Structure 1
Amino acid sequence: MTEEFNESMIHDIKEGDKVTGEVIELEEKQVIVHINGSKFNGIIPISQLSTHHIDNPSDAVKVGDEVGAYVTKVEYDEENETGNYILSKRQLETEKSYEFLQEKLDNDETIEAKVTEIVKGGLVVDVGQRGFVPASLISTDFIEDFSGFEGETLKLKVEELDPANNRVILSRKAVEAIENAAKKESLLDSLKEGDVIDGKVARLTNFGAFIDIGGVDGLVHVSELSHEHVKSPEDVVNIGEDVKVKVKSIDKDSERISLSIKETLPSPFESIEGEISEGDTIEGKVVRLADFGAFVEIKPGVQGLVHISEISHKHIATPSEALEPGQEVRVKVLGVDIENERISLSIKATEPKDDDSNNQGPSDEESTNSYIDNAADDEDNPTLGDVFGDKLKDFKF
């Protein structure tokens, strides 16, 4: 009879078999399970109850629960005709987890998992077993402190599976990258040239500032940071600073957005209304020379034109014969056009006239009219782009 039972037990339930049963008793370090269709019970040690560390069996199961497990060992006392099965619920859970994760990896699908632990190199998450999100795969942005993720449920993608080494690597960064791409596409479709929107300074370079305008970065060129000349972006804005920007251009193919802070600010010319008038004599600095004259800055961001005929009482062929950039000069205001942001100036009107001078240029009135009143395509009538150089090359009257 013993031989018959032994033979039956060996053939019916063996090591490596999957069994199911009902939890009938919780002990300090193990759980007793009545195995369906078997004369003997199963024992699940506490270490094999869960894929996670637990202190008490009650943390994983309760009496009456139906559980599945692998048979890891068959114990039989032939003399007393007693026996039991050593089981692993953990092994079965791990196998199911790998099957689930492999399916998600094959189909490039997203999963959700709760962060159970913060460790030095990243995040530990519960994916039916212990999963790991390395620091480099937590976010598309640099994150120095991971503590805020503890207890959070994250959207993740499976990056690597290695059952032989019990290795599960996941990525939150991959999910963020997809979300950011969708945001960028939506934003590019909704933005229009001329829109004024809020942004935050994301990073600075020697040629400008990149502004986060809602998950997408646009560039404010250094020439578009201020009405005044800017040597370095750090002189005007700081990383993390909230700013208003105007959309100058959008290139959907290259996904580039050109922005301006300057165009959201009041024009420097507005500040001189009522302060500088025709006939005033003021100090200024030569900032640029052109064939037709010299541009003189009379206030920060405000430049006026000294026509070549207004530089000297003597006839000169080029402005460089009398002036050089950076030179301090005294000028008389010949005309002011706030609306079109033009100021006509004269250096010679502040100096005594030499009777022997050979002035063959136009009179004060003629040169003023040429700059203030004439059409913009007159070569002696520079545009605002001439006044401010490359900084305002896109400005149109």
Structure 2
Amino acid sequence: MTEEFNENMITEINEGDKVTGTVQKIEDKHVVVQIEGAKYDGIIPISQLTSLHIEKAEEAVSVGDEIEAFVTKIEDKEEDGHYILSKRKLDEVQSFDSLREKFENNETLEAEVKEVVKGGLVVDVGLRGFIPASLISTEYIEDFSDYQGRQLTLKIEELDQEKNRVILNHKAIEEEENKAKRAESLKSLEAGSIVDGKVARITNFGAFVNIGNVDGLVHISQITHDRLEKVEDALEIGQDVKVKILNVDEDSERISLSIKDALPGPFETIDEQFKVGDIVEGKVMRLAAFGAFVEIAKGLQGLVHISQISHEHIANPADVLEAGQTVRVKILDINKEDERIGLSIKATEEQSEDFDTSYLNSSQQNDDAPTLGDVFGDKFKNLKL
């Protein structure tokens, strides 16, 4: 009767059932689980404990832990029978249900990075989740080892239960955070202020400078007071610069910056280099119908009016000057307020005489030379004075 009573108390367990048990013993490659009311104990192979890679079973469970698992196989032997269990499969089913709900509602989740592998990161989301390298960060990262053990906020990029595939995205979280930071930074920027920045990118039309959480454009014309052919001649990526904020457009998130306006202008220090009356060398930069523009120092160009080019009358400056030519000029005027310099080329040259006066300097007079009286004497006789 006792045996019959005991048999009646045994819970019938079939393949596919979900059972609950307590970890009794941990071996190297499996775990022994006692299932209350069951005919046999359950065995969970190490590969069926978790979807993550582990070397030893104690990395996933401890003696005394209560575990739920699916029955995948029954080895019915009178003396040595047992149930083969899979905690991994149950975790995957339960996790997929939870993940699908988050995916459909566009919710985020938290997960710890368990492994750094080639091509990305492995995280524990109840099952094995993968973050490809391209979806880890908005910044370029060469070594992902610093992510080991970190807790990350993630979005679900792809979910496929049949293929047991979970692709996660951390980059999208960073993009949203950066967008919020940019919006906050844009509101705090004030046109006219001078701030520190770092050159982030260089293009043929200018440079993008990072000024915190946002980048602004320094047009090539705003880099230096000098004429600049190539941006690379004045800037390099990573260079620290001071910039003046010219304009902020919050709607388009566009910021116009100037490096040259954050620097002392050449006219601010012109008194330290030049004064009216100085004669200096300069370079003809361009010609106009009314004169020539001559550069006497970087960022300092003055006008030589056509009337100041030569003592002789000229119709066109191009008749006597050409771009790139080096000339000597005299500074006639400096107007710091209007940033204008008046120059003269002819003031550096002596005026040539229109007639020969060499005879006035002769130390010897030719006695034989005819006098004015000799030449005009007879004509004066008939004049009535």
Return the TM-score normalized by structure 2.
0.83
1:263 aligns with 2:261: yes
Pair 1:300–1:60, CA change in 2 (3 A): same
User: Partner residue of 1:156?
Assistant: 154
Whether the 8 Å contact between 1:23 and 1:65 is mirrored in structure 2 is yes
Q: Counterpart of 1:216 in structure 2: which amino acid?
A: V
- CA gap of 1:110–1:57, structure 2 versus 1, over 3 A, is same
Identify unmatched segments of 5+ residues in structure 2. Answer: 355-385
In the TM superposition, residue 352 of structure 1 has moved relative to its aligned partner by 2.9
- Number of aligned residue pairs: 353
Aligned AA for 1:50?
A: T
Against the structure 1 CA distance between its residues 136 and 82, is the aligned structure 2 distance closer, same or farther, given a 3 Å change threshold? closer
Is the Cα contact below 8 Å between 1:293 and 1:319 reproduced in 2? yes
How many Å apart are 1:162 and its aligned residue? 1.7
Alignment correspondent of 1:173:
171
Matched, 1:32 2:32: yes
- Return the alpha-carbon distance in structure 2 between the equivalents of residues 210 and 153 of structure 1: 33
Q: Cα offset for 1:180?
A: 2.0
Q: Distance in 1 between matches of 2:203 and 2:261?
A: 20
Letter in 2 for 1:185: A
- The one of 245, 248, 265 aligned to 2:246: 248
Any conservation in 1 of the 2:9–2:37 contact (CA below 8 Å)? no
SS across alignment from 1:223: helix
> Counterpart in 2 of 1:56?
56
User: Partners in 1 of 2:83 and 2:271 — Cα distance?
Assistant: 95
Cα distance between partner residues in 2 of 1:68 and 1:136: 36
- Classify the secondary structure of the residue corresponding to 1:231: coil
Q: Deviations over 1:69-90 (max 9, x none)?
A: 111112323xx38743211111
* Counterpart code for 2:111: A
Name the Cα RMSD after superposition.
Answer: 2.7
- One-letter amino acid of the structure 2 residue matched with residue 295 of structure 1: F
Q: Is the alpha carbon distance of 1:321 and 1:13 closer, same or farther for their aligned partners in structure 2, counting shifts above 3 Å?
A: same
Q: Which residue of 2 aligns with 1:293?
A: 291
**More displaced 10-residue stretch of structure 1: 48-57 or 255-264:** 48-57
Q: 1:293 to 1:103 in 2, by over 3 A?
A: farther
SS, match of residue 267 in structure 2: helix
In 1: Cα distance, 2:286 partner to 2:98 partner: 70
What is the letter of the counterpart of residue 14 of structure 2? K
- 1:384 matched to which residue of 2? none
| CA drift at 1:246 | 1.0
Write the letter of the residue equivalent to 1:55: E
Return the offset for 1:339: 4.1
Aligned to 1:368: none
* Letter matched to residue 53 of structure 2: H
How far is 1:4 from its partner? 11
Q: How do residues 20-169 of structure 1 correspond to structure 2 at under 5 angstroms?
A: 20-77=20-77, 80=78, 83-169=81-167
- CA distance, structure 2, for counterparts of residue 351 and residue 6 of structure 1: 128
Kept in 2: contact 1:72–1:87 (CA 8 A): yes
1:308/1:251 CA distance change after superposition, 3 Å: farther
Match of 1:187 among 173, 185, 188: 185
Please give the secondary structure, in 2, of the residue aligned with 1:101. helix
Deviation at 1:39, TM superposition (A): 4.0
Deviation at 1:170, TM superposition (A): 1.4
Shift of 1:169: 1.2
CA distance in 2, matches of 1:188, 1:292: 46
Give a deviation string over 1:244-292, Cα, whole Å, max 9, x none.
Answer: 1111112233221111111111112233314311111111011123444
Q: Structure 1: which 5+ residue stretches go unaligned?
A: 357-397
Q: CA deviation at 1:183?
A: 1.9
What does residue range 192-341 of structure 1 map to in structure 2 within 5 Å? 192-341=190-339
Partners in 1 of 2:7 and 2:295 — Cα distance?
105
Deviations 1:294-323 (A, max 9, x none): 221101111112223322334445443443
The residue type equivalent to 2:297 in the other structure is: K
Q: CA deviation at 1:235?
A: 1.7
Query: Residues 231-253 of structure 1, C-alpha deviation per residue, up to 9 Å, x if partnerless?
Result: 22222121112221111112233
1-structure distance, mates of 2:148, 2:94: 25
Distance 1:235 1:29, change over 3 A: same
**Identical-pair percentage:** 59
**1: CA distance, partners of 2:306 / 2:146:** 66
Q: How does 1:359-378 map to 2 (within 5 A)?
A: none
Structure 2 CA distance, aligned partners of 1:306 and 1:340?
Answer: 16
Instruction: Find the aligned partners of 2:185 and 2:138 in 1 and give their Cα distance.
Output: 18
Range that drifts further, 325-334 or 114-123:
114-123
Letter in 1 for 2:185: L
Distance change (3 Å), C-alpha of 1:308 and 1:24: same
